Structure 1
Amino acid sequence: MASKAAEQRNRVQTALDRVRHQIGLVLGAAAGAREMAEAEVARLTLEQEIVRVGMDHATPAQQTEWARHPAAHEVFAALGGTRAAFYTDWSAGPGQLRDLVAAHAPGPAGRPPSEWLGRVGTNPGVTAPALWRVGSATAAGSDISRTFDVAVPLLDESHLAITSAPKTRPVVDGIVQGLLMRVLSAFEPGAVKIHLWDVGQLTAILPDLYPLSRTSALSLYDPTRLEDLLDELAGHIRRIHATGMQAGHTSLRELRKATNQRLEPYRIAVLYGNGETLDAERARDLKRVASGALAAGICLILVDVPTAVSASIETLSLLDERRAVSSMTGSDLVVDLDPPMPSGQVIRAANRIAEALIARQGGPRSFADLMPSEIGQESSARELRAPIGFYEGEAVEVVIGDASPHALIGGPSGSGKTNFLYALLGSLAARYSPDELALYLLDFKEGVSFAGLAPGRKDSSWLPHAKLVGVNVNTDREFGLALLRFLADELRRRSAAAKEHEVTNLADLREQDPSGHWPRIVAVIDEFQYLFAGRDQVTAQATQLLEDIARRGRSQGIHLVLASQDVAGIEAFWGKPAVFEQCTLRIAMPKARRVLAETNNAAVSAPKWHAVINHDSGVAHGNQLAHVPDASSRNVFVNLQQKLWELYAGRFTRPRLFDGAHSPVLEQFPAFTELKPNAQPRAILGQSIDVTEAACGVDLPRVPGRNVAVLGGATAEALSIMDSAARSLSRQMELGQVEFLLHCPIVASSPAVLDLKSRLEAEGHLATLTEDLSAELESIVESLSTTTPRILLLYGVDAALPSLEAKAVGQLKSGLDHLRTLLKNGPAHGVHTIGWWRSIARLKDTLGFGGTDDIGAWAALDVQGNELSPFAAGQVVHWSPRPGRALFFDRTTHGAPEVIIPFQRPETEPTAGGTS
């Protein structure tokens, strides 16, 4: 048993010994491999250091240290062989580099300054040289055949980081100034903009370039406000990126190539640091700007700014006042820097470029310069685009579409707001035909800004694109509400069509329904804050409609242009920013308040006759300053309108003109002139305040309650309503079909009543003017079931009440009793009363207890709304009387009273309010 156990121990011991042996072999092999790896790492580290420093540039101390390295002999032999082989095989290399630079750095980009400095460039800026010369280098030795040009990429290609050496600031300035002059001289004036920031200097940054500072080609920034420059660049990047993305391109270079237009200037931002790392926030901002700048045509030149950027960047590190190393050639080659350009020559060259840029602007442009070469050739399927002014010779456009659907325009009185609106309307109308663009124009202020766009007495032409023109509507807020209701109805119609064709926007709808009529609609509302001037139902409904149109109108091609002198005073939108958020297009006239973003003060410094155009909700980076030419002087816009009117003659209907300063004339009103005999007569009382030129009237069927009351003491308006009701009924009645009975106890109104009687008789109707109203009423009541249909026109019923209330001895019923009977039972037998009461109290006295149902319709003049509730189904009536207007309610058709405009009686002078 013991021997067996010993045998087992021996076997286990033997196995363990074998395992130990194998582990030893493995550990030995691993140690050997580790030693080899460490030796290889040491060799590679040495090789890397030698390559970085350069075999010919090492100090004696470095060479001694390298020589002590165990792998020194091997590394030096390998690198020497590689270099020898390279120079043996690369004998043609310098010549190839010279050819490469010559091909990619033409003209000022690579040629000596003597050949171009002081000459103004001609490259329009669609394409740019890829390389820009900074010096030369020699491949090996001093053989001139091995010398080649050294150039760095800029603009679309790469950023540049320059690191100075002690006492080399003048050299750095010479390098930067030389590059900038090459770029500025290569392109036509205005194609390049320079931005300069120096952490240590407020002024004297590249002073030789200062002649350019009187133009937009050169901008300087506060040394303590690097964020201002970075914010501006970030804004340009976002704006250009959005433009490119909409066009399907990923960079400005692609967009230039596709359109063969410069579109945007190149920008070079030079940042002078002091070798210290920027604070964390500025470093992050700079990194973000650098990452997107090149795609937006923005190039950074960073001098002693040790911030890593995640973008293409080349380096130039100075060794002394004459030499540098560059990432373009590698650290093993020294670049001999070009000498600085002579200061006097640079100043003269910069001055010539500035003068050429100013001359190119050509001074103030005219309205004619906004016009396209061909009228009405643009499509509005995707957007509306039109220049409205100029900045440094370049047109500044306003774009209205899905990206910037609505516009907010602000400017105090005299700032040029009306002129801007004319420039905008003219530029749009010249580019888009009336099939592509429909205009609805409303001006709340007291004036006739848009009146000339509709036909008038002196000029029969009109702007063919205009469908509605409303002027002097500051007291007719209901007309603005009517326009918003029309736009909301049109929005629903377009949305239904889009749903039917399974599309989501106007462009796709027009593509799927080419036979449909789907122009873009632009509604311009000047002084729109009047819509919200009261705390009433008009304000509440207008706010709701405007918010809905602003949110949903963009996709269906309905756009709002809201203009105001003082946007700050609109209480209706406090806490309701939906409309302003949708107005991404902001136009600020000089000294405008709260149109742009809160921190954007560009309007404060804007010169006269200019406007700040901003498509980015007023944020500062979206600012574009534009000089707006004179579009509102005598015959300027008129000439364009006449040309368009003649071009589109007969194809489009005249616009609806609503002029709140003039009353409508019954004889000229379509709803009156088109009347014919009708079995269902309708008494026209006035004009509706609506987008269409509609009349407001009362149907007089043979049913109870179809009587009309005119309420209030405004004599002219009351006579007008009575007159238009009677005359409109007479045109609908066959001769002999009806008798008009008139009664007027008011002496001052007798001439108007006699005139109406004559007019009715002239048309062949029987018209009787009675003096004894009580007797006439008794006679009609006694024969009510067999009487001829009658229209009772009772003027000043309240004045007749004393005589109506009187009873003769033995008489059972008074004239007032008979009047009440007729009001209750007459309409069912064809006897309708149209009466004028000068006070609500006297109407109540006439009707007696519970008789309000006998007045089916009424028109109130100088009567307060709280007095009208009993006659409006008990609802609260919001009405404050105003001249030339009446409040109308028909209990069979109205949910709430509406404002109407009485007609102008021919024999009276025009009264305030109405239409032409």
Structure 2
Amino acid sequence: MRRKAAERRGRVVSALDQLRYRLGLALGAARNARAAAETNLAKLELEQLMVRAGIERAGQDPQVAERLRDPAMAEVPTWLGRVRDQFYGEWADGPSRLRELVAASAPGPAGRPPGDWLGRVGTHEGLRPPELWRIGSSTVDGSAAGRTPGTELTFDVAVPLLDESHLSITSAPKTRDTVDALVENLLMRVLSTFEPGAVKIHLWDVGQLTAVLPNFYALSRTSALTVHDPTRLVDLLDEFAGHIRRIHAETMQAGYSSLRAMRLATGRRTEPWRIGVLYGNGENLPPEQLRDLKRVAASALDAGISLILVDVPTVLGGAVETISLFDERRAISSMTGTDLVVDLDPPLPSGQVATAAKRIAEALVAKQGGPRSFADLLPTEYGRERSARELRAPVGFYEGEPVEVVIGDATPHALIGGPSGSGKTNFLYALLGSLCARYSPDELALYLLDFKEGVSFAGLAPGRRDASWLPHARLVGVNVNTDREFGLALLRFLADEMRRRSAAAKDHEVTNLAELREQDPTGHWPRIVAVIDEFQYLFAGRDSVTALATSLLEDIARRGRSQGIHLILASQDIAGIEAFWGKPAVFEQCTLRIAMPKARRVLAEANQAAVAAPRWHAVINHDSGVAHGNRLAHIPDASAKGVFPSLQRELWERFAGQSEPRLFDGAHAPQLDSSPAFTGLGQAERPLALVGQSIDVSDTARGVELSGAPGRNLAVLGTSAREAVSILDSAARSLARQYQQGDVEFIVCCPVETILPRARELTDRLAGAGHKAELLDAGDLADRCATLAAELSDVRTHRMLVCYGVDAALPALEQKAPGQQSGLDHLRVLLKQGPAKGLHVLGWWRGIARLKDTLGFGGTDDIGAWAALDVQGNELSPLCAGQVVHWAPRPGRALFFDRTTHSSPEVVIPFHLPEADDD
């Protein structure tokens, strides 16, 4: 046992000794590896120090000299020398290649001597900017390139800027003038390369209370140069950040990764380049500003912004080149490496720079010109654009460049606001004219509605003075401030059209209008734009119209974009629209915001750009009113006499064959003789007695079908004589057109003395149409009712009893001899039994109570249809199945209800009778 224990102990001790040996080897190797790594790291650090200081000057650097005292570092200078010699040995033609490279990458003012270009206005349109911009030259010893020792080889030095890189400049003591000359040289080269307006410069100097770069003073009076408050760097950074967000949204929506990519793909420059020059003082910026600066720099190049930082210590995101000054003439640059000294170009002559800046400023002012006219918005050829993807048209100008409005999937609906006199109507005309000139009626359909008391859109439909019309218009509604039902009808029409398009898209297995038009090229699918001016009137009451309009508008706003249906809602002030409190869906979908001067609550709450907007301008914003989306535009005068009509007539002639739009003018009652519903009547088994024009998108009329069903009589209710006469006149005359001569007999009675001439005129008209028509004396009505009641069982012709003011005849009708029925009893028989026998009563009662007296205790079933005039809604409930009737009487309108066709009453417009004007 003891022996076995000793053996086990020996094996354990041997294993431990072996472990200690292995651990010793590992630790020794680790110490050696660490020492080697530390030596290599020290060599690399020394190499960096020597490269940064310059190999030739490294021995003068105290830090380098101290490290070279270490014997292990002795081989570093030798190795760097071999690398340099090998590089220059392979670079025998390097200087000449660099000269060729700079000449190719920095053409014209970007690389040529100042005498070749200074003072000349640039002409480069700006699609592909130069890749490099000259700052100076550098010289190397020719012996390093295989030349005779002492031979100097010089090559140009240039740095990238626009679209390529930012630039960081670090000064040395007493070199501020040199830095200014360097920056001035770069900026003047850029400005002299491009056509005026292609580049905008922003200057900020933390320590400068007067103008930076005073030779550029002439440019500061134009948009080419902006000098920013030295105490408000945050404003400049916010402006850049907003610009970057806007450009990013526009390029991403267009399918491009950057502004440069979009510019190269489309072949046009939509935005100027921006160069931000920030002068610091060598001290760190506050943390918040430094964070914002880095955030801007990271995305600036893709948005066309390049930064030039002077003595602003920070590490920027994105591509950055550096220039560090040694003295007033020399610097090192990241483009050449720290071992090569750059001899900076001498300053440009001050007087020549000032003269050149003045010439560029004058050229920019001349290019921008004075205020543009409406004609400048129009294309050279009309109707050439396609609307499958979107609608795009300029509406104004900023600094001579057009400012566009885009209506499509990304910005489906627009909200326009501006107080009275701010130019809102003029803007609408500019927008409509620019759109219609670019898109044909097959590409764009307009539905125009103006709720205010005016005729802003009336001229777009044919009139007495001008027979032309805007061929894109399908509907023009004016003076509808009291006809909210017409706005509701338009929304219903748009909702129906949206469902029709959605069904077609589903049939073709597509999701939007562009795809539908591609799959169904023979279909007619224009983009629809509905303009509703003063749209807040549509929601003026707390009633069913407001409730339905709100629901429809929200639905169209949400789903209309994919079907090519767009809303443009305009208002003087949207602050009081209670219908949308707590329902922001509509406004959220109105991502396109247009604010006229002094407009409130159109842009985002913190965006006050409209407050400072000058007259005849508008703030165009495609980003839901957020400040970074602001584009200020001068709107040409499109509403001056003859301006828009001239374009309209050209379009009318260009697109001949388009049907004229439906014109609805709430200030004028329709004429019966010109109503399609009346002129289109012919012989019918179930004649229709027209009551008035419907308030609808289509030009239709409402009427009562006089069949043999019970209750097929018509009652006109109220004291408004003119409208009552009109309704009875249109009902009788429309019936006369639907019968052959001899098939109908009209019996007209008028107990109201003042209306008697109108009753006689109707009788003469009916007789003149070949029908039997008789005007009863008021005193004969009772006897005639008795006769008609007795003849009901043997009626051979249809009969219409037309009575003006039935209630006026009630005293005579109520008289009766003992044991006999009264005339009123016979009238009740006619009302109850007449329709089944071909006899119908068309009567006017001047009050609900008087109608009830006429009907007696039999209820209201014998009056199947009625038209109410100046009668309050609560009085009409018994005639409308007990439902609550929302009706406030208004001139020229009637509330119509037919129990066989209506679920609720609707407003109609009685036809106008010219001969009734003297009433």
TM-score by length of structure 1 reads 0.96
8 Å CA contact retained: 1:389, 1:626: yes
- Equivalent residue letter for 1:805: E
Tell me which residue corresponds to 1:857: 865
Worse-matched range after superposition: 550-559 or 536-545: 536-545
Tell me which residue corresponds to 2:631: 624
1:759 CA drift (Å): 0.7
Q: State the secondary structure of the residue aligned to 2:309.
A: strand
CA separation in 1, counterparts of 2:523 and 2:356? 59
CA separation in 2, counterparts of 1:245 and 1:4? 83
Tell me which residue corresponds to 1:905: 913
Matches within 5 A, 1:337-486: 337-486=344-493
Q: State the secondary structure of the residue aligned to 1:853.
A: coil
CA separation in 2, counterparts of 1:854 and 1:356? 84
1:18 CA drift (Å): 4.2
8 Å CA contact retained: 1:711, 1:858: yes
1:491 CA drift (Å): 0.4
Tell me which residue corresponds to 1:104: 105
The verdict on how the C-alpha distance between 1:567 and 1:211 changes in structure 2, with shifts beyond 3 A counting, is farther
Worse-matched range after superposition: 816-825 or 143-152: 143-152
The verdict on how the C-alpha distance between 1:661 and 1:26 changes in structure 2, with shifts beyond 3 A counting, is closer
8 Å CA contact retained: 1:268, 1:300: yes
| Superimposed CA distance per residue, residues 4-39 of structure 1 (whole angstroms, 9 cap, x where no aligned partner) | 655554555445444444444444344333333333
1:837 CA drift (Å): 0.6
8 Å CA contact retained: 2:165, 2:321: yes
8 Å CA contact retained: 2:513, 2:563: yes
Tell me which residue corresponds to 1:46: 46
Worse-matched range after superposition: 191-200 or 554-563: 191-200
- Equivalent residue letter for 1:442: L
Worse-matched range after superposition: 28-37 or 701-710: 28-37
Worse-matched range after superposition: 693-702 or 70-79: 70-79
CA separation in 1, counterparts of 2:872 and 2:184? 77
1:514 CA drift (Å): 1.0
Q: State the secondary structure of the residue aligned to 1:282.
A: helix
Tell me which residue corresponds to 1:114: 115
CA separation in 2, counterparts of 1:610 and 1:496? 42
1:867 CA drift (Å): 0.9
Matches within 5 A, 1:707-856: 707-771=713-777, 772-787=780-795, 788-808=797-817, 810-856=818-864
1:91 CA drift (Å): 3.3
CA separation in 2, counterparts of 1:764 and 1:812? 37
Worse-matched range after superposition: 556-565 or 268-277: 268-277
| Superimposed CA distance per residue, residues 862-881 of structure 1 (whole angstroms, 9 cap, x where no aligned partner) | 11111111111111111111
- Equivalent residue letter for 2:32: G
The verdict on how the C-alpha distance between 1:4 and 1:514 changes in structure 2, with shifts beyond 3 A counting, is closer
CA separation in 1, counterparts of 2:48 and 2:430? 67
| Superimposed CA distance per residue, residues 164-191 of structure 1 (whole angstroms, 9 cap, x where no aligned partner) | 2334333322222221111111100010
| Superimposed CA distance per residue, residues 708-752 of structure 1 (whole angstroms, 9 cap, x where no aligned partner) | 110111110000001000000111112222221111111100000
TM-score by length of structure 2 reads 0.96
Matches within 5 A, 1:589-604: 589-604=596-611
The verdict on how the C-alpha distance between 1:35 and 1:419 changes in structure 2, with shifts beyond 3 A counting, is closer
8 Å CA contact retained: 2:531, 2:568: yes
CA separation in 1, counterparts of 2:151 and 2:589? 66
Match status 1:646 vs 2:646: no
CA separation in 1, counterparts of 2:89 and 2:274? 43
Q: State the secondary structure of the residue aligned to 1:580.
A: helix
The verdict on how the C-alpha distance between 1:829 and 1:202 changes in structure 2, with shifts beyond 3 A counting, is farther
RMSD, matched Cα: 2.0
Tell me which residue corresponds to 1:92: 93
Matches within 5 A, 1:479-558: 479-558=486-565
8 Å CA contact retained: 1:138, 1:144: no
8 Å CA contact retained: 1:662, 1:910: no
| Superimposed CA distance per residue, residues 427-478 of structure 1 (whole angstroms, 9 cap, x where no aligned partner) | 1111111111111111111121111111112221111111111111111111
1:143 CA drift (Å): 5.7
Tell me which residue corresponds to 1:317: 324
Flag structure 2 segments of 5+ consecutive residues without an equivalent: 143-148
Q: 2:233 aligns with which of 210, 218, 226?
A: 226
Matches within 5 A, 1:697-708: 697-708=703-714
CA separation in 1, counterparts of 2:61 and 2:804? 122
CA separation in 1, counterparts of 2:681 and 2:151? 102
Worse-matched range after superposition: 857-866 or 213-222: 213-222
Tell me which residue corresponds to 1:300: 307
CA separation in 2, counterparts of 1:442 and 1:132? 56
CA separation in 1, counterparts of 2:414 and 2:339? 59
1:144 CA drift (Å): 7.0
- Equivalent residue letter for 2:457: F
Q: State the secondary structure of the residue aligned to 1:530.
A: helix
The verdict on how the C-alpha distance between 1:338 and 1:723 changes in structure 2, with shifts beyond 3 A counting, is same
Tell me which residue corresponds to 2:140: 139
Q: State the secondary structure of the residue aligned to 1:480.
A: helix
Q: State the secondary structure of the residue aligned to 1:44.
A: helix
Worse-matched range after superposition: 633-642 or 273-282: 273-282
The verdict on how the C-alpha distance between 1:144 and 1:745 changes in structure 2, with shifts beyond 3 A counting, is farther
CA separation in 2, counterparts of 1:340 and 1:493? 70
CA separation in 2, counterparts of 1:677 and 1:41? 108
- Equivalent residue letter for 2:708: R
Worse-matched range after superposition: 46-55 or 704-713: 46-55
- Equivalent residue letter for 1:571: E
The verdict on how the C-alpha distance between 1:818 and 1:12 changes in structure 2, with shifts beyond 3 A counting, is closer
8 Å CA contact retained: 1:663, 1:910: no
1:278 CA drift (Å): 3.3
The verdict on how the C-alpha distance between 1:776 and 1:95 changes in structure 2, with shifts beyond 3 A counting, is same
- Equivalent residue letter for 2:261: E
CA separation in 2, counterparts of 1:213 and 1:90? 46
CA separation in 1, counterparts of 2:819 and 2:4? 156
1:300 CA drift (Å): 1.2
Tell me which residue corresponds to 1:129: 130
- Equivalent residue letter for 1:73: A
The verdict on how the C-alpha distance between 1:9 and 1:663 changes in structure 2, with shifts beyond 3 A counting, is closer
Tell me which residue corresponds to 2:682: 676
Worse-matched range after superposition: 798-807 or 234-243: 234-243
The verdict on how the C-alpha distance between 1:785 and 1:201 changes in structure 2, with shifts beyond 3 A counting, is farther
The verdict on how the C-alpha distance between 1:536 and 1:224 changes in structure 2, with shifts beyond 3 A counting, is farther
1:507 CA drift (Å): 0.3
8 Å CA contact retained: 2:46, 2:64: no
1:769 CA drift (Å): 1.8
Q: State the secondary structure of the residue aligned to 1:197.
A: strand
Between the aligned residues of both structures, percent identity stands at 72
- Equivalent residue letter for 2:72: A
1:140 CA drift (Å): 4.2
CA separation in 1, counterparts of 2:600 and 2:250? 28
| Superimposed CA distance per residue, residues 760-809 of structure 1 (whole angstroms, 9 cap, x where no aligned partner) | 1111111122221111111122222213432111111111111111222x
Q: Which runs of 4+ in 1 moved over 6 A?
A: none
Tell me which residue corresponds to 1:693: 699
- Equivalent residue letter for 1:103: A
Worse-matched range after superposition: 333-342 or 384-393: 333-342
8 Å CA contact retained: 1:904, 1:910: no
The verdict on how the C-alpha distance between 1:499 and 1:795 changes in structure 2, with shifts beyond 3 A counting, is same
Tell me which residue corresponds to 2:146: none
CA separation in 2, counterparts of 1:161 and 1:506? 49
8 Å CA contact retained: 1:94, 1:145: no
CA separation in 1, counterparts of 2:472 and 2:8? 112
8 Å CA contact retained: 1:270, 1:301: yes
